[in-house]
Amino acid sequence: MTSAPTQNPLFTFGEHPRFEAITPEAVREAIPALLEQAKAGFSALEESVEPTWASLFDRRRRVLEPLGYAWGITGHLMGVRNSDELRAAYEELQPTVVAFFTSLGQSERMYRALEDLRNGDGWGSLDATRQRLVEKELMDMRLSGIGLAGKERERFNEIQQQLAELATGFSNAVLDSRKAFSLLLTDAADVEGLPATLLHMTAASAAAKGHEGATPEAGPWRITLDYPVAGPFLQHCRKADLREKVYRAMVSVASEGDLDNRGRIQSILALRKERAGLLGFTSHAEISVSTKMAERVDAVDQLTEDLRSAAFPRAEAEYEELVAFAREQSGDADLELRHWDGPFWSERMREARYALSDEELRPYFPFPKVLEGLFSVTERLFGVRVVAADGEVEVWHPDVRFFRIQSAEGAEIANFYLDPYSRPEDKRGGAWMNDLMGRETLEDGSLQVPTAVLVCNQTPPAGARPSLMSHGEVETLFHEFGHGLQHMLTTVEVPEAAGINSVEWDAVELPSQFMENWTYHEATVMGFAAHYESGEPLPKELFDKLVAAKNYRSATAMLRQLFFGALDMELHHRFQPGEAESLEEAKQRVVDRMSVVPPLPEDRFECSFAHIFAGGYSAGYYSYKWAEVLSADAFGAFEEAGLGDEAALAATGARFRDTVLAQGGSRHPMEVFRDFRGREPSTEALLRHTGLA
């Protein structure tokens, strides 16, 4: 096997990527070369494979890692530095890469060797982690079509290819559709009531699009569908007709013209169902949950119904309160609350009830101070240090920062990149964590420490002002860092189970949602919340209002998440694509059970539901709520220890680190949770935390 030339930045597996040198041309050169190298290496492995751990896992990993690393970086750049040229290169190469990785799961020789290992005399000599991974690998290969032959396998592989292409097309259509919308406001009357943060951001956006001299005071102001813009705009814009324009654009993203994703959705659902049939399942959802903590669709349905029955009556009452408030405040006793009025009046009622608004809090949440606070609570709970290392590695955008995590003694444990701000022109929406490199002992005996990539889409700086974060954006940052901690603080020595690897998908949100709780913890928040200009700490009364407002309309928020999860399961388990029923009829069944206010007839939010159509959450969106039960119960252990007792928090944090964060996918998540909590999880803490107990 020949080694590839090192001048191409994608040939440097095991090193931090030279992002500035990664061009579409570099992708076109590197991926085919690495693919051929991986094919040759895997063929040689198949020829000599033995039913041993070293042969089936260690050798295979060394063969596949360089290609996986380079292709993973390429996919990462598609999300954070998208361009027409990169898209073209990615879409050109994707079919051959997908075909190769599909073929790995259909290697008869590897499967037989795994079965021989599972059933042989050496099975008992493997530790529990390795036995778990062998069982998982056998299951993964069954779900990759190893049991199929002839035309069935050929069709299965065609489906895999088509689904990969459809997912890329879906994601690109969402990005392009959001980019295509903008609303330029030139009349100061149109922006009355908009917060200063939003005025700065929208004026900067207008200036970037050629309106030189745009200022927050005089405009023009450019409204986009980027959530840090559209969300506050709907909350604060006083003109209903302008809110309507933005709202209708938001709920119809990627649902019209050349960017219409409805055809892709039908194709994705039909192909997933056909693939399930080939594998002997009745639905894609059955495949999905078979590899998760839930294990059965009815277990997901039961959790959904338990939470729905608690939330729905409260959500109805919350809506009635909102309508009554809007009518009283507007002086219109017959006011009909339209969909684009909800965020506006909801924010007014929150201000009236708690004398608090997001915009009042923003000046106290400048990004640099929030980051300090996040690192401080991490250090207090888990006994590590986070050290800035900007400039030590190349990054893909000037906004990106680089950090190292060290033990209390100063040894390097892990490192991470942080890309905090929204860039709608080339960065997809949402927030996520990617694992760039995992914990692994290399062939020379050295330890490769984990590297994470944390991506958010928070309010960017405007002029000399730092990024002033909403509390929701603070929660998101803590959330993604929780994912990163599970990847970075792992102590598992087996790479396939280190960090988030092999963690059941519906348990993977536990650390992330757990970290969100600290954004309401007084010592934590008061430790970082300070006015960006004066340095004055957040007034205690504002913090108290923040906590008091935590469960404001919590049933409505709960029902919204349950709706997304229920629609996901409906489409992937009960809906029969291509038959008499339409997608809209299937969606209506969920609306009838889950919605206090039915969506607009033209609401096609599913056309931008990238989590399930272009991400890893298909028939798995319920995982957020499943893991929220776990995370609330886990935080309950800290409450019981005493949130004001630093020594008790540190002791409980050490136990959380040694179980949930350290053990990764080496054990079943229920076993890990029991080790931390001393029992199985309960919904009590979640219902209590959300005010629904």
List phi, psi (to 5°) of 440. Answer: -160, 135
Are the beta carbons of 663 and 543 closer than 8 angstroms? no
Question: Residue 175's closest CA among 233, 223, 221, 226?
Answer: 226
Distance of alpha carbon 94 from its chain centroid, rounded?
Answer: 22
Is residue 171 over pLDDT 90? yes
Q: Which of 359, 473, 480, 509 is catalytic?
A: 480
Instruction: Encode pLDDT of 509-523 as tens digits.
Output: 999 999 999 999 999
**Closest alpha carbon to 267 in 175, 145, 159, 153:** 159
**Which of residues 144 and 5 earns the better pLDDT score?**
144
Could you give the angle at which helices 297-330 and 342-354 cross, rounded to 10 degrees?
80
- Dist CA 482 CA 468 (whole Å): 21
Give the amino acid at 94: Q
pLDDT band at 484 (very low <50, low <70, confident <90, very high): very high
Q: What would the mean pLDDT of 195-200 be, rounded to a whole number?
A: 93
Task: Give residue 6's pLDDT.
Answer: 57
Angle of the 150-180 helix axis to the 262-278 helix axis, nearest 10:
160
Q: Each residue of 379-417: b (16+ CB within 10 Å) or e?
A: bbbbebebeeeeeebebbeeebbbbbbbeeeeeebbbbb
**At residue 598, does pLDDT exceed 70?**
yes
Interatomic CA distance for residues 496 and 214, integer angstroms: 52
**pLDDT score recorded for residue 580:** 74
pTM recorded for the entire structure: 0.89
Number of helical H runs and strand E runs in the chain: 28, 9
Is the pLDDT assigned to residue 5 strictly greater than 70? no
Those residues with Cβ within 8 angstroms of residue 263's Cβ, 6 or more apart along the chain or in another chain: none
Spatial contact of 386 and 552, defined as CB atoms under 8 Å apart? no
What are 23-32's pLDDT values in tens digits? 999 999 999 9
* Digit-coded pLDDT (tens) for 535-566: 999 999 999 999 999 999 999 999 999 999 99
Domains and CATH numbers, the chain: 9-147 (1.20.1050.40), 181-252 (no CATH), 362-548 (1.10.1370.40)
Does position 2 have pLDDT exceeding 60, yes or no? no
Give 659's DSSP letter. Answer: I
Per-residue model confidence (pLDDT) at position 48:
97
Stretch 633-643: mean pLDDT: 96
pLDDT tens sequence across 220-246: 999 999 999 999 999 999 999 999 999
Q: Which residue has the tokens 């599909």?
A: 102
Phi, psi of 301 (to 5 degrees): -60, -40
Distance set, CA 283 to CA 269, 276, 565, 568, 612 (Å): 10, 6, 16, 12, 15
- Please check whether residue 637 is in contact with residue 472, taking contact to mean a CB–CB distance below 8 angstroms: no
The whole-angstrom separation of Cα 155 and Cα 282 is 17
pLDDT (average), residues 73-93? 97
Alpha-carbon torsion angle 229, 235, 238, 243, nearest 10: 60
DSSP 2: P
E strands in 37-102: none
Give yes or no: 244 in active site.
no
How far is 80 from 426, CA to CA, in rounded Å? Answer: 6
| Residue whose tokens read 């680190």 | 657
- Tell me what pLDDT residue 14 has: 85
What percentage of the chain exceeds 90 in pLDDT?
94
Phi and psi (nearest 5°) for 43? -60, -45
SS3 call for 268: helix
Q: State residue 678 phi and psi, 5-degree precision.
A: 85, 5
Mean pLDDT for the chain overall? 95
pLDDT above 70 coverage of the chain, percent: 99
3-state secondary structure of 365: coil
Assign 110 to helix, strand or coil. helix
Closest by CA to 99, choosing from 167, 32, 158, is 158
Omega before 220 within 30 of 0, i.e. cis? yes
Hey, what are 579's tokens? 């038959």
Instruction: Report the SS3 class of residue 337.
Output: coil
Q: Cβ of 544: how many Cβ atoms within 10 Å?
A: 13
- The yes-or-no verdict on residue 357 having pLDDT over 90 is no
At residue 504, does pLDDT exceed 50? yes
Contacts of residue 562, Cβ cutoff 8 Å, sequence gap at least 6? 304, 307, 308, 311, 594, 625
Confidence of residue 578 (pLDDT cuts 50, 70, 90): confident
Per-residue DSSP letter, 20: G
Q: Which three-class secondary structure state does DSSP give residue 72?
A: helix
Classify strands 440-441 and 447-448 as parallel, antiparallel or unpaired. Answer: antiparallel
According to the model, what pLDDT value does residue 1 have?
A: 38
Confidence of residue 3 (pLDDT cuts 50, 70, 90): very low
Question: For residues 389 and 402, is the Cβ–Cβ distance under 8 A?
Answer: yes
List Cβ<8 Å contacts ≥24 apart for 588-592: 590/563, 590/566, 591/563
